[in-house]
Amino acid sequence: MSKRSEIVAAEECIALGANQRQFVSYPNRETSLGELSVSRALPIRERRLVGPWCFLDRFGPLTFSEGKPLDVAPHPHIGLQTVSWLHEGEVVHDDSLGNASILRPGGVNVMTAGTGISHAEQTPREHTGRLNGVQLWTALTDQHRGGAPGFVHIAGVPTIEWPAGVVQVFAGHMEAASLPGPYYSPLLGADLQVHPGHTLDIPLDPSFEYAVLVMRGDCTVYGEHVTERTLYYLGTTRSDASLSSRGGARVLLIGGPPFSETILMWWNFVARTPEEIAQARTDWEERHRFGDVAAYDGPGLDAPSLVQFARPNPVS
Ligand code: MN
């Protein structure tokens, strides 16, 4: 290792490649995003990745009357995709490519960082006074991480309505509901709504590993009680999942084939080597590569010191 590489406090992350069914709970870690409290479900020490999913923050539900609870100033990303999904409220996205979009429940924003992009995310001036949702990241494969940055807004994702519940697919596919792009490797991201007093049976891909996060309500998965603010890792080799609720529930389901590459996460960067991270940090500080978010009124975020974080502490 070069002298430089030794001073980057980045975390190596790899999907552990479970080859069997599991049912393991991991409590979320409470942290903050500016003034907004978030529950971080991924990454966690024991479970860095679920398929290509390498980051999952849950924010809200909260009610507000003034100000903007979400106000993340311009910051850079490399090597990943950000995936934003809401249950309530609105988020404005602006990026260095000039994309501007308002995300609302039922839609999804997918930003592909590739070799570099910067963006800002805020609560818009006109809003419902509610905020409740998640942001996830996918790690881009080595084959695709050198690609151009991009942004896609989809106003309404594919939905399946069954007697027992509703499935909204914001990444990948489940039966006829399909949203394969703009994703670059096999994955699933779905919002499962279980109707009160019903059992929702859904098909799974045995080659995928999966995890669930309860967003609201009471729920059992395979008969086991699952609660909010805990990630439940289900492992692989499952061909279906059975979710029951007395009063109704909404549950996030993520999955994909165990990611075969070891990634390095530091701040908002997903890379492979400390040198890449150090270079991306320098480029952001010197205003190279990433571009400016012209639509944001105010300065961008300063990158932390390369040695500042013993654990990854992304701003999302
Ligand atoms: Mn971000």
* SS3 per-residue string spanning 241-267: EEEEECCCEEEEEEEECCCCCCEEEEC
State the distance from the centre of ligand 1 to the C-alpha of 208, rounded, in angstroms.
26
Percentage of the chain lying above the pLDDT 90 cut: 86
Measured distance CA(167)–CA(285) in Å, rounded: 42
Q: What is the mean pLDDT of residues 207-235?
A: 97
pLDDT in tens, 48-88: 899 999 999 999 999 999 889 999 999 999 999 999 999 99
In a domain, 313, yes or no: no
In a domain, 13, yes or no: yes
Q: What is the DSSP letter of 38?
A: E
Measured distance CA(231)–CA(106) in Å, rounded: 22
Indicate the pLDDT class of residue 312, thresholds 50, 70 and 90: very low
Split into its structural domains, the chain has a count of 1
Residue 1 has pLDDT above 50, yes or no: no
State the distance from the centre of ligand 1 to the C-alpha of 83, rounded, in angstroms.
10
Residue 14 has pLDDT above 70, yes or no: no
Q: What is the mean pLDDT of residues 187-209?
A: 98
State the distance from the centre of ligand 1 to the C-alpha of 232, rounded, in angstroms.
25
pLDDT in tens, 103-147: 999 999 999 999 999 999 999 999 999 999 999 999 999 999 999
Q: What is the DSSP letter of 44?
A: B
Q: What is the mean pLDDT of residues 177-190?
A: 96
Residue 34 has pLDDT above 90, yes or no: no
In a domain, 45, yes or no: yes
> What is residue 9's predicted lDDT score, i.e. its pLDDT?
74
In a domain, 297, yes or no: no
Enter the tokens of residue 155: 């106003």
In a domain, 105, yes or no: yes
State the distance from the centre of ligand 1 to the C-alpha of 120, rounded, in angstroms.
7
State the distance from the centre of ligand 1 to the C-alpha of 165, rounded, in angstroms.
32
Half-sphere exposure for 154 (CA within 13 Å, toward CB): 21
Indicate the pLDDT class of residue 218, thresholds 50, 70 and 90: very high
Q: What is the mean pLDDT of residues 290-314?
A: 82
State the distance from the centre of ligand 1 to the C-alpha of 22, rounded, in angstroms.
31
In a domain, 300, yes or no: no
In a domain, 303, yes or no: no
In a domain, 271, yes or no: yes
Per DSSP, the chain holds a count of helices (H) and strands (E) of 1, 26
Q: What is the mean pLDDT of residues 31-47?
A: 89
State the distance from the centre of ligand 1 to the C-alpha of 316, rounded, in angstroms.
4
- Mean pLDDT for the chain? 93
Question: Domain with 61 in it: what CATH number?
Answer: 2.60.120.10
State the distance from the centre of ligand 1 to the C-alpha of 89, rounded, in angstroms.
18
pLDDT in tens, 147-169: 999 999 999 999 999 999 999 99
Q: Alpha carbon of 274 to those of 81, 175, 306: distances in Å?
A: 20, 40, 10
Q: Tell me if the bond preceding 76 is cis, omega within 30° of 0.
A: no
> What is residue 5's predicted lDDT score, i.e. its pLDDT?
46
State the distance from the centre of ligand 1 to the C-alpha of 70, rounded, in angstroms.
12
Neighbours of 203 (CB within 10 A): 10
State the distance from the centre of ligand 1 to the C-alpha of 251, rounded, in angstroms.
23
Instruction: Identify the domain containing residue 168 by its residue range.
Output: 9-285
